[in-house]
Structure 1
């Protein structure tokens, strides 16, 4: 009675997958004339990644092919191999149970079939010419039957790979382009371009599309990013043309003034001596002392903002003593600050046109304060191109959006924070600029020998 309840216990299970594998094996009529077993195996291996065939199954088929000969794949023959499970497991470096799972998976994928002997054992014998006389075991005929399917699948997969690679290269190119445009916007302080948002979007798209193989989805993403990149490039190019036009206009004004016969140049005294005025091809020498005569009769909005926030020469010196240690300590005059700013601009590589434009837009005091703030940030590593940064400040000043007073108070707060951290980390928070300033004060007061 127990046998009647489980008649197939211990035998190979026959299901829909096994039936399909046997049907595929029965359709084998030999390999094409231009194809041998090596070519059939190669076609299967090329198609395997695109058919989601596990690597373990691919290795199993590769090992099984080693027991076949070209005669087994001719028309009318049946490619059967009969290694025992223990021997096959050793070849693959697996356990017997792991091998059985791979064989079952190969049947589900219609890659092999089984031809069992009456006693359930594998075995076979070859004739003297190498043809199979009789055999029971693992049938590889399904691979021969599906040779064209493997070829077409491999061709489609490789074509998709090429298309996907091309699309991802385009996405990488637009990512690099938008990154470069975003850096240009930062260097030239171009506001309103939303370059940072475009950069974040293209970086997110690159991450999301990393493992995507949907060509339509990938194409739509790449085309959209390219379109946004072109729009950003056109916007930044227009802004740069506008900046260049302003610089050329400024240079034209300066050259016209320098070439005019009746042009009066600024001097360092309260009474201009036009007959003895001297001009220089570099930065003009600034004035020193309290007797500096402003070229503007009315303070600029930037100078009014500095005065509103209490930013005077003494305040500027306290914010950046490393840069301002050469200022006189008996009295602090804007003439000294302007002279220092001219020298710092020259040392930092700021073009003279940017300095002249700053003087025209912000006034002498505003320009000097802007240069010192720019060089201070340049030395701190916050600014990469001081000339471009100063031109950006000129643009903000023209629009009335430059708040230089708040900038200096922010620099002062940052300096105090650094000093507090240094005091916490060590006993001596004094900067080199502070030491130089104190030494200069001692020299000027005659306290040193």
Structure 2
């Protein structure tokens, strides 16, 4: 008697076009096709996100495969298994019955198995006299055989994506490390360049990175970081080539000018022009009296304490913090980007930032901060300007104000309060401040 293979589910379960498509795919398995069931299960597990299967569903699929007696699944063999829910729950590590039914439905929707339900919905097999299975009702594993190559391709795609994602994250880590350390090198080595703006550009790029980012976003950020890294590296290498190996600390302030106003760095050609200007200025008698060493950051902050109000926390520990504060002070003072760029080209970024901090400190006495900065920039080009006299004048004014307030009769204060109200300077600096002005 001929048997009928059921295609619709039992009871209230409805039939869908997706189930019909899965059954159609199961019939396309080539004759004699054989797959290693655990090997194909491994590829399904790797590609589960693309297939749409869940971890619990794969645990049930693993249990279903264990009920198949052979290690291979053959398109010509019997591929229906008929375990009861109790047996499946036992082999799925005690999964609850409701969870089992829900994830069995997931396997059906993903096209990994087909329901072959009996008339009463129970799962069983009817065998002949020789022990062979004449009719079985349960779960058909034929789609696994028919789609084995598809699962392998999906697993390869997942592996390729994981590898690309890993390489993208490695590249991002390396670029972030290189950019940060190159910026620190440029600041510590006094390489001319708008390093405060470079840091802001870097922070804007990495600020687009969320806690969990897709690969495409990481690659886009890597492209932006690589462009920034290339620009920084070119500036540092160009500056290193122009340096005289015998140059001392007084020669570390050469400036690099760039014809491109949008660049955050300065070029080598302007460096040679500035060196020539510096050589001519060195012959000027007025410049011979100016100090040749760099101003310490602590003295600059003592003379210009208002700049500390522009940084979060009110604390400046490094020159890079000072440069970042100068970038904030520029628009507050109404200094145009072109005036600031010209000042950085003529003085160097650190000296320009010190000048801007001094202008901020005296903002109540200066009508046009931008015009004043341009005037000092012109003097710097002629070699007739140094930040030392400006900073010393601010310190002297602060010291005079401290002395005048100390001479006024006030209420008695404790020694601790007096110590906090007095400007503390070294003896050498005090002697320098008390010299008569020329």
TM-score class normalised by the smaller sequence: 0.5 to 0.7
In structure 1, the partner of 2:147 is 146
| Residues in 2 aligned to 1:103 and 1:136: alpha-carbon distance in whole angstroms | 15
The alpha-carbon deviation at position 247 of structure 1 amounts to 3.6
- The equivalent position to 2:290 in structure 1, one of 362, 366, 377, is 362
The alpha-carbon deviation at position 240 of structure 1 amounts to 5.5
The alpha-carbon deviation at position 132 of structure 1 amounts to 4.3
The alpha-carbon deviation at position 121 of structure 1 amounts to 0.7
* Cα contact 1:36–1:70 (8 A) shared by 2: no
Deviations 1:73-101 (A, max 9, x none): 22422312212224423543433222222
For residues 407 and 63 of structure 1, do their structure 2 counterparts lie closer, same or farther at Cα, with a shift above 3 Å needed? farther
Calculate the aligned-residue CA RMSD, in Å: 4.7
For residues 81 and 244 of structure 1, do their structure 2 counterparts lie closer, same or farther at Cα, with a shift above 3 Å needed? farther
For residues 240 and 219 of structure 1, do their structure 2 counterparts lie closer, same or farther at Cα, with a shift above 3 Å needed? same
Q: Does 1:204 align with 2:192?
A: no
* Cα contact 1:30–1:75 (8 A) shared by 2: yes
| Residues in 2 aligned to 1:87 and 1:47: alpha-carbon distance in whole angstroms | 27
| Residues in 2 aligned to 1:199 and 1:128: alpha-carbon distance in whole angstroms | 79
Deviations 1:53-79 (A, max 9, x none): 322222221121111122772242231
* Cα contact 1:116–1:136 (8 A) shared by 2: yes
In structure 2, the partner of 1:98 is 99
The alpha-carbon deviation at position 25 of structure 1 amounts to 2.8
In structure 2, the partner of 1:22 is 23
The alpha-carbon deviation at position 146 of structure 1 amounts to 0.4
SS of aligned partner of 1:114:
strand
Deviations 1:238-257 (A, max 9, x none): 455567679449589xxxxx
In structure 2, the partner of 1:225 is 225
| Residues in 2 aligned to 1:410 and 1:167: alpha-carbon distance in whole angstroms | 56
For residues 368 and 89 of structure 1, do their structure 2 counterparts lie closer, same or farther at Cα, with a shift above 3 Å needed? closer
Structure 1 segment 407-426 matched on structure 2, within 5 A: 408=395
| Residues in 2 aligned to 1:129 and 1:428: alpha-carbon distance in whole angstroms | 107
SS of aligned partner of 1:70:
coil
Q: Does 1:63 align with 2:63?
A: yes
SS of aligned partner of 2:21:
helix
The alpha-carbon deviation at position 112 of structure 1 amounts to 0.9
In structure 2, the partner of 1:83 is 83
* Cα contact 2:10–2:118 (8 A) shared by 1: no
SS of aligned partner of 2:25:
helix
* Cα contact 2:22–2:114 (8 A) shared by 1: yes
For residues 164 and 111 of structure 1, do their structure 2 counterparts lie closer, same or farther at Cα, with a shift above 3 Å needed? same
Deviations 1:362-410 (A, max 9, x none): 338xx69758727989xx982489xxxxx97678786647352587599
In structure 2, the partner of 1:37 is 37
| Residues in 1 aligned to 2:398 and 2:49: alpha-carbon distance in whole angstroms | 59
| Residues in 2 aligned to 1:410 and 1:37: alpha-carbon distance in whole angstroms | 88
| Residues in 1 aligned to 2:398 and 2:14: alpha-carbon distance in whole angstroms | 81
* Cα contact 1:361–1:394 (8 A) shared by 2: no
In structure 1, the partner of 2:158 is 157
In structure 2, the partner of 1:235 is 235
For residues 154 and 393 of structure 1, do their structure 2 counterparts lie closer, same or farther at Cα, with a shift above 3 Å needed? closer
For residues 155 and 370 of structure 1, do their structure 2 counterparts lie closer, same or farther at Cα, with a shift above 3 Å needed? closer
| Residues in 1 aligned to 2:117 and 2:37: alpha-carbon distance in whole angstroms | 23
In structure 2, the partner of 1:121 is 122
* Cα contact 2:25–2:146 (8 A) shared by 1: yes
For residues 30 and 89 of structure 1, do their structure 2 counterparts lie closer, same or farther at Cα, with a shift above 3 Å needed? farther
Count the aligned residue pairs.
Answer: 303
More displaced, 397-406 or 185-194? 397-406
SS of aligned partner of 2:47:
helix
For residues 30 and 42 of structure 1, do their structure 2 counterparts lie closer, same or farther at Cα, with a shift above 3 Å needed? farther
In structure 2, the partner of 1:282 is none
More displaced, 119-128 or 90-99? 119-128
The alpha-carbon deviation at position 125 of structure 1 amounts to 5.8
* Cα contact 1:185–1:195 (8 A) shared by 2: no
Q: Which runs of 5+ in 1 are unaligned?
A: 1-7, 253-295, 301-359, 386-390, 416-426, 438-449
* Cα contact 2:193–2:349 (8 A) shared by 1: no
| Residues in 1 aligned to 2:56 and 2:386: alpha-carbon distance in whole angstroms | 67
| Residues in 1 aligned to 2:226 and 2:57: alpha-carbon distance in whole angstroms | 42
| Residues in 2 aligned to 1:102 and 1:151: alpha-carbon distance in whole angstroms | 23
For residues 211 and 53 of structure 1, do their structure 2 counterparts lie closer, same or farther at Cα, with a shift above 3 Å needed? farther
In structure 2, the partner of 1:404 is 391
For residues 149 and 408 of structure 1, do their structure 2 counterparts lie closer, same or farther at Cα, with a shift above 3 Å needed? farther
In structure 1, the partner of 2:169 is 168
